[in-house]
Structure 1
Amino acid sequence: MFPFLKTKHFLKDLLPENYIDIHNHLLPGIDDGAKTVQETTHLIANMKELNIHKSIATPHTFNQKWNNTTQTIKTAFESATEDKVNNAFLKNYASEYMLDSFLIKKMQEERLLCIHENYLLIEFPLLSSPFHLYEMLFEIKLQNYNIILAHPERYLYLHNSIKKYEQLKDFGISFQLNLLSLTGYYGKMIQKTALQLLENDLYDFTGSDIHSKTEINQFKTVKLQVPNKKQMDRLLLNNSIFLK
């Protein structure tokens, strides 16, 4: 099904020079990522060894689980970037917003945090499709946000039909690949779906989704094959627009 190259690559060796990561959980103490500034600093040091040049921090905003606000995220960012090395690495802060009715209400009350200009990173629930999915996406688009869907390969209820992904793309939604999905880190079914979406050229951007040292080790220790190395190289370069 996939025209695999014989060559296997460590994930870290695929990253281009000046790669910017647009999805991670580096900010301390506000979600399931780094717990302290010291952990943030340690993760950043390791990410630089992976050839990640800069990053945009995207902690979760998820009602009744991680009730982050613009202020809590800003405060965590300022705490992390008091260190000069961290400050040079962390280009900006945004959020990974859970798509639900609370997000729509929040959006009506304030401007949401974007990773760049009007690019908004959102996620869906992992196990069941949101109610009124397209109605909520339409509401977000009406506010002139350019929607990036985090890790579409991880939503199990989309796995049974490539047409569901194509419908989202036709609606103007950009897809962000979790690079670790290619290694099987989240399971074989998710790996298979990631490769299928890659083969069909449905991804627009990539991200690490690093929470801890565990994910960093995957970049360093797991070799993988990609369907088309040149296509993968082009995809990885797409993130460069966020360096501007």
Structure 2
Amino acid sequence: MILPTYPKQANISEDGSYLEKIGADLHLHVLPGIDDGSPSVEESLQILAAHHAAGIRRIIATPHIRSDFFPNDQHTIHAAWQLLTEAAADHWPDLVLTYAAEHFGDDYLMTLLEKGQVLPLFDRYVLVETSMRTEMPHFPQVLRAMIDHGWKPVLAHPERYRPWQQRPERYAELREMGIIFQVNLLSLGGQYGPTEKLLAQQMVRQGWIGAVGTDLHRANQYSYLRKAARTPEFAMLCDAPLLNHLVPEHEARN
């Protein structure tokens, strides 16, 4: 397979390996054709090429698992991962690509917990999300059930949940539970708008962030990653004790 050219929006040569200090990218929708992320192997290779040039050497692909929209399981995810790793192997032999999932925190996740079928980032860390538009009052109970089952919830992009943006007590409640907050670099770069950017900045400054992900879905979002990398908050994240630095250098799923 011919290595695809970089999209114009990436223009990564300006900044060199600017993502290297973040460590692993543990939130990325790069597996082709199984959720709302990359639609094809070709686009996935563009993303991997840009990530590699930006200094990333460890990636955890995190496709959605959500029964109503993205009914993925280990079989569908593994098949997409195998397809991509075979296409990428000759281009970046030093790139470690594994997979997990971004689990939607609803009754279906409770079923997966009972069956022992969640897909952790590594160790016992599990990426989880909730609705960005509607308050889900039972979400804290889902997180508590995860903890009771021995998992360590990593909350994807807390800055993006609109029902919480005027409710700081919700964030305080989750932090009291020991939930790890994972900020999106796309938020710091302004991809989602000023409110999400401001909340992301505030959480970084308050020391609330324990993990970082790009949450990239398309190669043409790279301009927002460059914007994020030029913020004071990005420099703070580079010096923070992030979960990203604990990702094993070599970890495979069968």
Task: Indicate whether the TM-score tops 0.5.
Answer: yes
1:3 — aligned with what?
none
Task: Using structure 2 for the length normalisation, give the TM-score.
Answer: 0.84
1:53 — aligned with what?
57
SS in 2 for 1:243: coil
The alpha-carbon distance between structure 1 residues 130 and 223, as it changes in their structure 2 partners (threshold 3 A), is: same
Residue 162 of structure 1 and its aligned partner are, at CA, apart by 2.6
Whole-angstrom CA distance in 2 between matches of 1:177 and 1:77: 24
- Is 1:132 the counterpart of 2:132? The answer is no
Whole-angstrom CA distance in 1 between matches of 2:234 and 2:62: 29
1:204 — aligned with what?
210
1:69 — aligned with what?
73
In the comparison of the two structures, how many residue pairs are matched?
Answer: 234
1:241 — aligned with what?
246
2:125 — aligned with what?
119
Instruction: Name the aligned partner's letter for residue 92 of structure 1.
Output: T
In the alignment, is the contact (CA less than 8 A) between 1:148 and 1:176 conserved in 2? Answer: yes
Of 231-240 and 56-65, deviating more is: 231-240
Residue 11 of structure 1 and its aligned partner are, at CA, apart by 8.6
User: Structure 1, residues 118-156: CA drift from partner, whole Å, max 9, x if none?
Assistant: 100001100122131222111111111110000000001
Runs of 4+ in 1 over 6 A off after TM superposition: 10-13
Residue 221 of structure 1 and its aligned partner are, at CA, apart by 5.7
- Is 1:23 the counterpart of 2:27? The answer is yes
SS in 2 for 1:214: helix
1:33 — aligned with what?
37
User: Structure 1, residues 100-125: CA drift from partner, whole Å, max 9, x if none?
Assistant: 11111122123311111110000110
1:73-92 aligned within 5 A: 73-83=77-87, 84=89, 85=91, 88-92=94-98
State percent identity of aligned pairs: 28
SS in 1 for 2:182: strand
In the alignment, is the contact (CA less than 8 A) between 1:16 and 1:237 conserved in 2? Answer: no
In the alignment, is the contact (CA less than 8 A) between 2:57 and 2:96 conserved in 1? Answer: no
Residue 80 of structure 1 and its aligned partner are, at CA, apart by 0.9
In the alignment, is the contact (CA less than 8 A) between 2:22 and 2:212 conserved in 1? Answer: no
Unaligned ranges ≥5, structure 2? 1-13, 250-254
Task: Using structure 1 for the length normalisation, give the TM-score.
Answer: 0.87
User: Structure 1, residues 134-188: CA drift from partner, whole Å, max 9, x if none?
Assistant: 2211111111111000000000111113332121011010000101111211000
